[in-house]
Amino acid sequence: MKRLISAIIAYFLLALVFSLPRLQAAVEIKIGSVAPERSPWHNALLKLARDWEKITGGQVKVRVYPGGIVGSELDMVRKVRLGVLQGAVLTNMGMMQIEKSVLVLNLPFLFSSDEEFSYVFQGLRPTFEARVEEKGFKVIHWTQSGWVYLYSKGPVLNPDDLKKYKISITKDDPDLEQVWKKMGYQVVPQDNKDVLVGLESGLVSAVYLPAVMAASGQYFALSPHMLAPRLSPLVGSLFLSSKTWEKIPAEFRPALLEAADRQARALAGEITNLEEEAIAAMKEHGLVIHYPSEEEMTQWRQASSRAIESLPGRIIPADIYQKTMDLIREYRSRGQK
């Protein structure tokens, strides 16, 4: 009888245990970024990490590794593929390592305004995301993070002026390096973290950077001449491996994407204001801004067009390039600028 009672008690205890809600282990997400610590990009990522933990009740925990401490953008993409990292924040240059078509956003002097770029990007975004997902990644958000400008040790007003300088370019894309060389420019492939040392040593004498980074990193002190026209938009993207995204309980995913989109919009607005403040501050501390004439701007556009002609079908998928140009013409046909 005692054995029977013990067996009955054990049965009910087991039934009680299995009827309790099972606690799911937290999904740990390690995210790499080249954005410096305490920069607007880094702060926004930390805020997103807190939001995600709150939304999921601690079932998602995000750790951020800023300042390139886990490597260059190419290194981070490799580490996500290997599972060492679960995600990364990339510029459009880094995203090219996953999906080549994103290079279209880097073409110089292609977009004439924030509004035009936004219109074109929204038209391209679904295609970008679908192709990225085909390669095993999930885009969490995109952020328009200002514009890239050219800085040099001496004045640059036309394409020939730039041939006097050694230009720092990302070392992660040999195709882009060949494009620069075909245009007749001297280039030095570098990691982001080596650019400042390169300017100090004379290894490089020109660099293209977003204004906020040029100011906060004091790059402009070593390359105090800025070409006024904006070269290209800087687009940031946060992505995770598809495997990591699928580990997150499905009921949380819409709210996580909404929180990410909210942070992206806030960051874009902050960067716009900071960009204006950065340029004003650099001017106060010796930056000289050079404004090309209409004739010189025509020379820049012609040089850019000649370089771009070799890219569609070889470096940029032809369909993406064609769609980009169609969207630009569509926007301008409405009389918008």
Which CA distances in Å does 22 have to 18, 68, 204, 297, 303? Answer: 8, 38, 58, 65, 63
pTM for the predicted model, two decimal places:
0.83
Give the span between the Cα atoms of 122 and 330, in whole angstroms.
Answer: 13
Res 23 pLDDT > 60: no
Which range among 87-96, 134-143, 150-159, 316-325 shows the weakest confidence by mean pLDDT?
Answer: 87-96
Q: Is the pLDDT assigned to residue 13 strictly greater than 70?
A: no
> Are the C-beta atoms of residues 267 and 143 closer than 8 Å to each other?
yes
Q: By CB neighbour count within 10 A (0-12 exposed, 13-18 middle, 19+ buried), where does 75 fall?
A: buried
Residue reference for tokens 């950077």: 209
Other CB atoms within 10 Å distance of the CB of residue 313: 10
pLDDT by residue (tens digit) across 285-315?
999 999 999 999 999 988 888 888 877 887 7
Q: Which helix (H) or strand (E) holds 139?
A: strand 137-152
Q: Measuring CA to CA, which residue among 68, 118, 92 is closest to residue 236?
A: 92
CA-to-CA distance for 172 and 192, rounded, in angstroms? 10
Q: Label residue 31 by pLDDT band (50, 70, 90).
A: very high
- Tens of pLDDT, residues 148-176: 999 999 999 999 999 999 999 887 777 77
DSSP assignments along 154-209, one per residue? S---SHHHHTTSEEEEETT-HHHHHHHHHTT-EEEEE-GGGHHHHHHHTS-SEEEE
Give pLDDT tens digits for 59-115: 999 999 998 899 988 899 999 999 999 999 998 878 888 998 998 988 888 898 989
Residues in CB range of 116: below 8 A, 6 or more apart: 328, 331, 332, 336, 337
At the topology level of CATH, where does 25-333 sit? Answer: D-Maltodextrin-Binding Protein; domain 2 (3.40.190)
Q: Where are the domains of the chain?
A: 25-333
